[in-house]
Each structure stands twice: as structure tokens, then as C-alpha cells.
Amino acid sequence: MNNTTSLKEVPVEQAIGLRLAHDLTQILPGQFKGRLFKKGHVITEADIPKLLDIGKAHIYILNLGDQELHEDDAALRMASALQGEGTKLTEPHEGKVAVKSELTAPGLAVIDPAFVQAVNEIGEIALATIKTNAVVQPGGQIAATRVIPLVVAKEKVEQVEALAQAYRNEHEGQGPLAIKPLNSFKIGLLTTGGEVFSGRIEDKFGPAVRRIVESLGSEVAEQRFAPDDRQTIVNEIHYLLDKRYDMILVSGGMSVDPDDRTPAAIKEAGADIVSYGTPMLPGSMLLVGYIGTVPIMGLPGCVMHDPYTSFNVLLPRILAGDTIKRADIVDMGYGGLYGC
């Protein structure tokens, strides 16, 4: 039994025929950063100039102890324990393993921040993730695991595995790093405003909303127009409800101006309002609610011109099947300042 890991330092000129203990990285500023030699590579005489070029006058020959793991093996074990629905793993590369989307369409990251913190509190290991509820494109990365030293105590990786198993036990077998697929909705869009309804100005809301919706795999099945008249807006919402669209979006008329009637009309149409207003900029005047089980949102003007608003935050969650609650809106304030 070998309880102790030993590292033997060997000059590169004397290393011909020996195997590398870890990946070696080459950095050419502005040109390339990546793996030059892979762990396990058998060094040849032709490799010596390349090793010297990256500042490696010596290499390590590694003998692992029974209770320790190489960085590649540790990273792979951690990632395997953590991956959940909709994900796949990369091979270890320079001591890291990436967790990526295996979906063929955009999905929604599901990551518990408290779990990530618990893993990183163990020490000498690292779990880096994107934020939960972020949209993940096909093949997109949501997390990466690695250990900080070349060799880590097996016990630390076993702690990660135990945390992951406890999480699965509490979440019906789901892993801590998951991606939920987005449902494909047929959406009814109602654009309000006398200036658009009368033809005085061109509609800019429709194209902007379609672009966002279609980027997430859904479609605006029908667009209607209404003047700034509360009863007309109510009637149009009921029309869209009768068409049994999966979701209703009402654009325009969301400010506090006297001519803006949309929020009151949405409520009068029968919506249970979750929130009128969000602590996020841009998009603070957004309304979200439900008429029965049908989500309805009132979209402020910033959706037409700002690249990322509260609409971009909440729409993917609804498409993923989440029911938006007041607490979700309150949480949007922290980190919710974009481009202001």
C-alpha cells in the first residue's frame, strides 16, 4: 500500500521516454492558449525544444498515494457526480472538466447557489458555474470542475460526491447542475397605443418581441392592435384567451401616464397580478400575472430597443415551466442593473 504521493523532478534533457504527470499549457499572447502536451505523453527528443520554449526546464514524474487523486481524475469524478438532466461532460483538459448542454435547442440552467458555495468551501477544489436561470444555447457550458493542486486528497472529492448524493435524495434524483428544456409556446401579442393603432407611427414592438420569442424556440402566432381604451384592451385580451394561446403578451401603455391603460385593463380582464413593476433596469415597468393558468405579461417600451430587459429574464423561466412568484421578482434587484 502506497499512502504517500511522490513527485520526482527530472531535467527535461534526461526525461526522454518518461510520461508527463499532467497537461502542459502553451500561451502565445494574442494567438493561442491551450494544451501543448497531454498528461501521459511520452517525452521524445523532439519535444525538448518545445518544453524549453514554454519555460519547462524540469518535469514531474508522479507516483500517486492510495488516498490521493490526480487533478484530471478528481475533476472528472466531481463533474460526474454533479451533472444532471440535459448535460454532458468533456474529457479532462488541463485539469478541468466542463459541464455542457446536450440539448439541441436553448435551455434554462438550474443551479443551486448554496450548493455551489458548499462545494467550494471544501477547499483545494473549484466549481465554477453560470448563474441559475440563465439561457443556455446548444452545446453551451454551464460549469467546470477542477482541483487547485496537481494532486488532491481523495477525501475531498468524496465530500463532493456525498453532497451531490444528498442533493439528489432531496430532488427526486436530479443532479445539482441541470438544464431544463424550453417549451415551444404559441403566443398571442396585443400591441396597444393610439399612435400605432391609427397608423401614425410604425409598430416597433412586434418585430422586437418576435425576435426574442423566436430565439427561444417559440412563436408569436397572432398580433392584434388596440387604442388606449381600457375596455377595448380587455376585449382583445379575452379574444386571445379564447384562441387558447399558451401565453399572452401586451405591449405598450405600461407607464404612469394618464393615457396608459394597459395595467388596469390586464387586471380587469381577470389576471391575478404577481407583480406590476420589477427591481430591474431596464424593465422596471413590466407586469407579470396569470389568467387561470395562462401567463400574461405587460411589456414596457424598453423591450423595443434595449438588448436585455426583465422580459428576457422572465420569459425563459415561463417557457421552462416555472410559475413566477413574487419572491422571484424581488430577487431580480441584486445584479439587475444593465446598461444604465
Contact between residue 80 and residue 89 where contact means Cβ atoms under 8 Å apart: yes
Q: Residues of the chain with pLDDT > 90: what percent?
A: 71
Q: 68-181 and 186-333 share one CATH topology?
A: no
What DSSP string describes 316-330?
A: HHHHTTPPP-HHHHH
Tell which CATH classification among 3.90.105.10, 3.40.30.10, 3.40.50.261, 3.40.50.300 matches the domain 6-63: 3.90.105.10
Mean pLDDT for 156-179 is 97
Q: Tell me yes or no: is domain 68-181 CATH 3.90.1170.30.
A: yes
pTM, to two decimals: 0.85
Domain residue spans in the chain? 6-63, 68-181, 186-333
Residue 6: pLDDT over 70: no
Q: Which residues contact 109 (CB under 8 A, 6 or more apart)?
A: 129, 130, 131, 132, 133, 134, 135, 136, 142, 178, 179
Residue 339: pLDDT over 80: no
Neighbours of 13 (CB within 10 A): 12
Contact between residue 236 and residue 265 where contact means Cβ atoms under 8 Å apart: no
Residue 83: pLDDT over 90: yes
Residue 89: pLDDT over 80: yes
Q: What is the pLDDT of residue 7?
A: 67
Most confident of 93-97, 236-240, 263-267, 300-304: 236-240
Residue 221: pLDDT over 70: yes
Mean pLDDT for 284-292 is 97
pLDDT digits (tens, 9 = 90+) for 21-62: 778 888 888 888 888 888 777 888 898 899 889 998 888 776
Which stretches does DSSP call E strand in the chain? 6-11, 24-28, 32-37, 58-63, 68-70, 87-89, 96-101, 107-111, 125-129, 135-136, 141-147, 151-153, 177-181, 186-192, 219-226, 247-251, 272-276, 287-291, 294-299
Residue 2: pLDDT over 60: no
Q: What is the pLDDT of residue 5?
A: 61
Residue 300: pLDDT over 80: yes
Q: Mapping DSSP to helix (H, G, I), strand (E, B) and coil, where does residue 105 land?
A: coil
Q: Which of 76-80, 103-107, 191-195, 247-251 has the lowest mean pLDDT?
A: 191-195
Q: What is the pLDDT of residue 181?
A: 98
For the domain spanning 186-333, the CATH number is 3.40.980.10
Cα distance between residue 243 and residue 233, in whole Å: 16
pLDDT digits (tens, 9 = 90+) for 223-261: 999 999 999 999 999 999 999 999 999 998 787 655 568
